[in-house]
Amino acid sequence: MTEAFPSDTPRLDTSHTAPVEPPDNPSFDSYFRDPEFAPLQALAWALTRRAELLEALRGLFHGPAAMVQLRLWCFMELACQPQARLSREDIHQLFHAVWPDALETVLKRLRDLNLLSWDASALDYQLTALAQQVHSLLTPLTAPPPSDDAEDDLAPLLAQVAGAQQLGLVNANQLRHLHASLARLHDEFAEAIASGSEARLRAAQPRFDRALQLVDRAGQALTALIRAEHEDPRLEREARAIGQEQARLLAMASQFTRALQQADRQRVTLGSTGLTTSDVRSWLQAHPALYELLGDALSVPVRPVFVSQHDLIDVTEGEFERDRPDPERSVGLPPPSEAAAGQLDTLSLPGELSALIDLLGNWSQHLAELPPQTDPTDEAAPPPGSRPLHEAILGGRFAQAAYRLQLMPLLGDAQAQTLKGTTGDLARAPWQWQLTPRHVSTTDEAVALISEGLISPRPVEDTASDA
């Protein structure tokens, strides 16, 4: 069966391995098996309608790399000028550093591509409407390259979609491009998680965080696209597909965190140095020449040690004899015997705790014998029965005094009051303590200075609530 081709299309001879040479200027439809296929595709139809724009781009990027760079630089500089018209003097002043022959070559190419028009009556240049379209397409080239790949992939696309949505100029092709970029990022991060490599996860973490921030910021524009009423149903369909891809990327955050935690659990600390295997790996990866770490290790040749066959047999027999169970040792359990009398030692608290509780109890008895306060309006006066802090702290060695001072926070502690034993008894004592930012000198042999403080009876309502 043979397939019909138009007269101006390249014919593919199936009897040969190479196609027939195409004509000098083939049409776009001639590259398809069915010439009617291309016009039915939305993207191909849109490209066909932009033939003049494609021709301008082809002319700008045609030729050596240096000339293309010069051509683009001159065109972008002209497009950024605030003047609507530029005279020859303005152009020569703008490109004074360029050789005249090279500048004339660039200006001629721009005129031939209909990007720059010369007005013979006014003797000046001006950019055409086609030049404005080309400049809008090439504007991302003027931005400095970002340090993050995820930002380079997503930021321009998200900005384009969000801006077009605000102006009502969004189309399905922009959304499809954004959808493809999100899918590629998702697959890349999924491969990093599946690899289990800590280095790969650490390298992908900044890009992943940046991608989540960008997608989250563009969420309002995508939501507006989904809720808006469009004449083209493809817009809503593509917007919903992007929303699903965004949800997949956000759901991967927990997986990424678990993968990093798993890598942290596998990290090993090398002794008491504080170094980990991750630090060693990073240092080895950054080392310029790993072979230098061997030093003189290979300067001494390997010296093999040969063992005779008889020695090998003796060692093997000894291993067999050692691993063979001893029948004489296979006996039952020993007979029962009574356990020897012993003594169970229990932990006892220091005697200073009991002595402090007794001291506070004696103070409580003296407190009941005191007359009532004469002037209840004097708030600055300490409560009746208050004692200086050093009377309960000082006495004995310095360690004993320090231990008694450490017991003071237990007075009135709500959690300690529920304990049983002497600790709970101290917490339930009807006393409270207070320190001031001053020190007082003492006559004690072990303590020269002590913080000034006061131990006073707790209010009646606090004691009642504890009971």
pLDDT tens for each residue of 387-406: 888 888 888 888 888 888 88
Q: What are phi and psi of 115, to 5 degrees?
A: -95, -20
pLDDT tens for each residue of 22-31: 555 677 778 8
Tokens in use for 313? 């047999």
pLDDT at 330: 61
Distances (CA, A) of 112 to 57, 172, 446: 12, 33, 102
Tell which residue, 388, 389, 384, 430, has the closest CA to residue 411: 430
pLDDT at 462: 60
pLDDT tens for each residue of 426-466: 888 888 888 888 888 988 888 888 888 888 888 766 655 66
Q: What is the mean pLDDT of the chain?
A: 76
| β-strand pairing of 86-87 with 387-388 | unpaired
Confidence of residue 45 (pLDDT cuts 50, 70, 90): confident
| Highest mean pLDDT: which range of 146-155, 288-297, 414-423 | 414-423
What predicted TM-score, i.e. pTM, was given to this entire model? Answer: 0.41
pLDDT at 166: 59
Confidence of residue 246 (pLDDT cuts 50, 70, 90): confident
Tell which residue, 48, 154, 63, has the closest CA to residue 109: 63
pLDDT at 385: 78
Tokens in use for 123? 């003797």
Q: What is the rounded distance in angstroms from the CA atom of residue 41 to the CA atom of residue 43?
A: 6
Q: What is the rounded distance in angstroms from the CA atom of residue 183 to the CA atom of residue 264?
A: 28
Residues in the chain: 467
Distances (CA, A) of 139 to 45, 151, 272, 415: 25, 17, 56, 68
Confidence of residue 3 (pLDDT cuts 50, 70, 90): very low
Least confident segment among 9-13, 74-78, 214-218: 9-13
Q: Does the domain spanning 49-142 belong to CATH 2.40.240.20?
A: no
Q: Is residue 467 scored above 60 in pLDDT?
A: no
pLDDT at 154: 64
DSSP lists the bridge partners of residue 204 as none
Cα-to-chain-centroid distance, residue 160: 26
pLDDT at 409: 87
Confidence of residue 4 (pLDDT cuts 50, 70, 90): very low
pLDDT at 251: 81
Span 119-131, average pLDDT? 83
Span 166-191, average pLDDT? 74
pLDDT at 150: 42
Span 293-305, average pLDDT? 69
pLDDT at 169: 60
Q: Where are the domains of the chain?
A: 49-142, 149-265, 351-366+384-466
For residue 137, what are the contacts with CB-CB under 8 A and spacing of at least 6?
A: 53, 57
DSSP string for 335-387: PP-PPPP---------HHHHHHHHHHHHHHHHHHHSPPPS-TT-SSSPPTT-E
